[in-house]
Amino acid sequence: MNQSVTAALLGLVEGITEFLPVSSTGHLIVAADLLKFRDSGGTFEIVIQLGAVLAVIAYYWRDLLTQARALSVDRDVRQLWLGVALAFLPAAVLGFLFSSLITRYLFSPVVVAISLIVGGMVLWVIEGRPVAATTHGLTQVSPRQALLVGCAQCLALVPGVSRSASSIIGGLLTGLDRPTATAFSFYLSIPTLGAATLYALVKGRGVLGTAQLGPLTVGLAVSFITALLAVGWLLRYVSRHTFRGFAVYRVVVGLAILGWALWR
């Protein structure tokens, strides 16, 4: 298959799944395996997430611009971004220390399948026993809540767990209401995915050749467009539904991937 077509398909997978609680990295690993796409060190799979980061910035650009202008005078805005910074730190530190080991030993369809199944079961149980929401709005997220969300996000270093799922569930468990937990997860994706992309580019500068720049650009463009659509859809969805549908999806897809990986 043409490399640009393959990159577009991977970009489509990334854009659709990045902000849903189903693990974009896990879906990319499986999709790349199915498409027989060889990505040395997982660099392409990580860098393509930049499209999703740009989608969040594009979706929230008015809010982000207003917040940037008010950062020096608005205490609530400072608290929001202090919270984002605190939530970013745990996964950043662990990712920096263990990224090579994670890529080497955990980037496999079997690990993804098991993580999807276990994560789906956890999501189902948590949705069945909801914690009473005490925080309504991004500027009300406390530093303690933000740090706990950041610790929960560390689970997403395992492919298949889902950064979106772990951070949203972490937010729900600390008392954030569903829209706030989801929006905070989106904001947290900016430094988290941005730093991961930058680190992957620096680390893989000798791996990504000029021949891959074209397909990578295609993948980024498709990822950006589909992620932009997914962000708006998910925000509307969580205002009226729980995440139990995603829990069922994770278990079903995880079982299918596990069966395929073990019997192929």
Average pLDDT across the chain, whole number: 87
Q: Given this model, what pLDDT does residue 106 score?
A: 85
8 A C-beta contact, residue 127 and residue 242: yes
Q: What is the pLDDT of residues 52-99, one digit of tens each?
A: 889 999 999 999 999 999 888 889 999 999 999 999 999 999 988 888
- Is the backbone of residue 74 left (phi > 0), alpha (psi -120 to 50) or beta? beta
Provide the token pair at 257: 């991937």
The residues near 168 (Cβ < 8 Å, ≥ 6 apart) are 21, 181, 182, 185, 243
Q: What is the pLDDT of residues 95-150, one digit of tens each?
A: 888 888 887 888 888 998 999 999 999 999 988 887 788 899 899 999 999 999 99
Instruction: Supply the pTM of this predicted model.
Output: 0.87
Q: State the sign of the Cα–Cα–Cα–Cα dihedral 206, 24, 38, 154.
A: positive
- Residue boundaries of the structural domains of the chain: 3-263
What is the C-alpha to C-alpha distance for residues 138 and 81, in angstroms, rounded to an integer?
10
The rounded percent of the chain whose pLDDT value lies above 90 is: 49
What is the C-alpha to C-alpha distance for residues 179 and 69, in angstroms, rounded to an integer?
24
Among 180, 37, 38, smallest CA distance to 167 is for 180
